[in-house]
Structure 1
Amino acid sequence: MSGPSSLEIRTEHSPTLPYAVVRLDARAVQVLESYEPNVLGGVFTDRRQPTGIKFGIGDVVNVTIFEAAAGGLFIPIEAGVRPGNFVNLPAQTVDNDGNISVPYAGTIRAAGRTNVQVQAEIVEKIKNRAIEPQVVVSLGEQRTSLVSVVGDVRTPTRYPMPATGAQDRITDALTRAGGISGQGWETWVMLERDGKRATVPFANLVYMPANNIYVQPGDRIYVYREPMKFLAFGATGQQGEFNFDAWKINLAQAVAKAGGLFDLQADPGSIFLYRREPREVAEKLGVDCTKFTSGLIPIVFTVSFQDPAGYFHATKVAMRPFDIIYVANAIQVDTTKFLNFIDKAVGTADNGVNLINDIYIARYNSRLHGR
């Protein structure tokens, strides 16, 4: 397959898109290992557990009011036989304005607040009329603060956030939905939160714990299957798209999946890996980023399989989805192509000269016999 020569790539010259060339040595491998993509953890940086369930519009709230003695605001003197000095108010739904109503306290803001905050306001409003009041506010029915898990899971679900105890992480939420329905290496997980989205391969939740963040109220998790692939062009045994078919593969494995190097054509000293790296990673790799304007820098990594160490370096570089591997032709192959072209051109010219000579001879013989 035709493509740019190794010299053209190494000059870092392109009329359409600037890029940088980085030699894949021990230092570059160390940088790449330290800065593997960390998508969910990078987009959603808050590592704290949910601080508590906050009421929302539509939630059903229970309110219980205690007084220290009978004869107060809620407990009459002639209370008779009672289980205690308290009264349970009828359960009520947080209205469209986000409020509930409490006798003698009036309208109480509930939406966006925790039960402790609502309790404190009720006590503040009735403390001068009731006898040492205490209030307990609880969630009767949770209709907000839900987490949705849909897509390629065994049991799509929408469940309420746990009010107390251990909090769920992404993998816990997937477990509540029965787990993923496909192979882990072809499954992707997208998290939507507060208008932001981020997607990560399922494997990254396992291998990179920083991605397995806490679930927050209102999160939407979408699971889908898309095999992770890379592309191979140039003097490889085969060209085209190739599936990882594994949790992860390295550069050496990817070259092998593409049929290795084509013996009669490939330059083993010119193996190139095309990908985009974050600006901070590019700077760590020694790239001059002043000529780039975007946050992702196009980089071409080069490694030589003529150097025995090149194979070791290639086994330490993890492939990412839609990476491109390109193997340049050996110099002698390009030279041979050029000579073949010249040979064909010269042969075509010779044929043209011979044809003209044949025409002249035919005309001469015709005139001679005509006389």
Structure 2
Amino acid sequence: MKKRRRIRKVRVIITVVFIIGIGLLLRNLFEQGNESQERTPTPITNKEIQLEAKSFTTEATISAIGDVLLHNSVYEGAKTDSGYDFRPMIEKVKPYLQEPDFLIANQESMPGGVEIGLSSYPSFNSPHEIIDALQEAGVDMVTNANNHSLDRGEKALNSAITYYEEVGMPYTGAFKSVEDQNTVRTFNVNGISLAVLSYTYGTNGIPVPEGKDYMVNLLDENRIIKDIEKVKMENDVDLIVLGLHWGQEYQALPTKDQQTLAQELTDAGADIIFGHHPHVLQPIETRKTVDGREAVIIYSLGNFISGQTGESKDLGGVINVKVNKAVEGTKTTITYPEIEFKPTFVAKDPTYRYMMYPLEEAEKLGLTNHSVVDVNSHMSTYMTTSLR
């Protein structure tokens, strides 16, 4: 009897403990649930997370130099035991090339390299090494649509492009494929985005190979306007920059056709035009477009380096366009608070060794009769403000 009572007593105790345990467990779960509910954050409404539109300004200097046209006298002067070295020719103007945030050069003679044979006027092919020298000096991009683009055919063009890609030099204007041509070259410089397009009036009568229209962008007004519209639609850029090979050789002022085309292209959306081909300097123009933007046109930047001499063909320069971007809420305004032109001069000694100088230095050394004052006066012919 005692044993049975003891068993019942144990069972009662176990049952009571079990009931108490269940009660404590349920209480803990209930308290945790309440605590969890108390910690649930209040949802944030769209109104509360909406940020005010930011306002800021930023600046960049977008620059260009003129024609890089390597006659045989130039590349022979750069010849070394192991190849070609153009760096000593550029050394004295290198500080000018180092200053801009983004610098474009017009590579007029195609650098197809020695493997296919170097050549001079009228059918140019230049050493690859000119690209090395330009890149080291500060050039960030080359335009290669010009009247000499097809001088040595597709082989030279593709060799040049292969080398551009090998050393990481962006290019535009002449291409290796349809895909290459359709790839718009865009850049972000200090928070200012730009697209660069390049076109030439022709190719010295050399026909573009059948079925390969992509090889060179030809200067057709309607085509350029369509390209500008496409860039604006597909790329969110602040600036559209054009490199145009146009005008009359050796003429100090632009033609009426150049001026008319410049107005139509800037009205269509181009913001800066860097002009090439005349081989002499032509003035800068600033204008208001039909939609109220500011636009800058440099009709010709002359020769950066070439074997041409006399009649101002030994003059070139660096055009520095300071671009200011002001963002206020959803509105972006682009202005050009400063345009600076730094003239350069190509000197050669009796042995045809070429050396480039800042024009001011060349004046002091007695190497030229050209003056900085006269050059800047000429370049500001159409401007209401003076050049720096």
TM range (shorter): under 0.3
Q: Which structure's CA Rg is the greater one? A: 1
Q: Structure 2 length as normaliser, TM-score? A: 0.19
Q: Structure 1 length as normaliser, TM-score? A: 0.19
Higher helix share: 2
